[in-house]
């Protein structure tokens, strides 16, 4: 019996977790007055408030994504690719058009296409996995400078270990109060057969908005297999004329 189905739930979870991070992605214009370091509660309060405002300001947009999943282990190695156009009409409406696909049919049908379905469904239930005090406990653990910008480093711990939540660290831009990086592990494993999963996301800024640049996640299966999922987000196009052209998006290195 193939062990590949054992990783499909976790891979879908990885994308679902990245959706949570994406809700903090599109940032408002930089606030030059951000200087003094606030306490954790103030950072979280600003983050939640700005997230909601950003979701409304972002409006409709499209983007092209390249998905790649590779599995190495019992009973054999397999990989698959998919190019997808994402169409988002506000924070609660999203659909996908598959441009091309290749590789393992099992991975395409039972991992990648189900990832898209998970994201589409999750858009209609944002509160259940939102990065808010209702779902997480936050702690400020430090600060960091990156490309001249101050970042607050927060640890996040889910209040209830359920699907689509995670535990780990987020990096929050001190001027925009937007999440710019995530390093985490799932709050709850979907299967006994999943030993560990590492999830990473990096963002890039286009004008007034922080947007996903790259996702990388690695899943260790108890039978000895490893599955790696990567997603590249490119060619953002916005309905609002004030938003810069897609070529202005500069992607940060993920690892």
- pLDDT (tens place) for every residue of the chain, 255 residues total: 444 444 445 455 444 444 444 444 433 334 433 445 689 999 999 999 998 888 888 888 999 999 999 999 988 899 999 999 999 887 778 899 999 999 999 999 988 998 898 888 887 777 888 899 999 999 999 999 998 999 999 999 999 888 788 999 999 999 999 999 999 998 887 666 677 889 999 998 877 788 899 999 999 888 789 999 999 999 999 886 444 444 334 433 333
Which residues contact residue 76 at a Cβ distance below 8 angstroms, ignoring those fewer than 6 apart? none
Q: Yes or no: say if 15 and 231 are a contact pair by the CB < 8 Å rule.
A: yes
Q: Yes or no: say if 177 and 154 are a contact pair by the CB < 8 Å rule.
A: no
Residue 166 forms beta bridges with which residues?
186
Q: Yes or no: say if 234 and 56 are a contact pair by the CB < 8 Å rule.
A: no
Ramachandran region, residue 148 (left: φ > 0; alpha: ψ -120 to 50; beta: rest): left
């Amino acid at each position: 019996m193939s062990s590949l189905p054992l990783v499909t739930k976790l891979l879908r979870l990885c994308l679902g977790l990245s959706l949570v991070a994406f809700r903090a992605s599109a940032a408002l214009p930089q606030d030059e007055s951000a200087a003094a370091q606030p306490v954790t509660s103030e950072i979280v309060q600003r983050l939640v408030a700005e997230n909601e405002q950003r979701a409304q300001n972002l409006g409709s947009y499209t983007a092209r994504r390249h998905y790649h999943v590779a599995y190495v282990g019992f009973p054999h190695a397999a990989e698959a690719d998919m190019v997808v156009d994402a169409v988002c009409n506000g924070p609660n409406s999203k659909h996908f058009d598959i441009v091309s696909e290749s590789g393992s049919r099992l991975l395409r049908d039972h991992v990648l296409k189900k990832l898209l379905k998970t994201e589409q469904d999750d858009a209609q239930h944002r509160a259940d996995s939102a990065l808010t005090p209702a779902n997480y406990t936050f702690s400020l653990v430090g600060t960091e400078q990156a490309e001249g910008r101050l970042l607050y480093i927060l640890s996040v711990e889910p209040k209830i270990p359920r699907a689509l939540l995670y535990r780990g660290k987020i990096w929050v831009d001190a001027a925009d109060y937007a999440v710019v990086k995530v390093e985490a592990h799932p709050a709850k494993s979907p299967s006994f057969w999943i030993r560990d999963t590492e999830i990473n996301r990096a963002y890039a800024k286009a004008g007034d908005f922080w947007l996903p640049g790259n996702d990388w996640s690695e899943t260790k299966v108890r039978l000895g297999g490893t599955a790696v999922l990567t997603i590249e987000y490119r060619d953002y196009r916005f309905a609002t004329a004030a938003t810069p052209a897609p070529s202005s998006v500069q992607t940060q290195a993920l690892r």
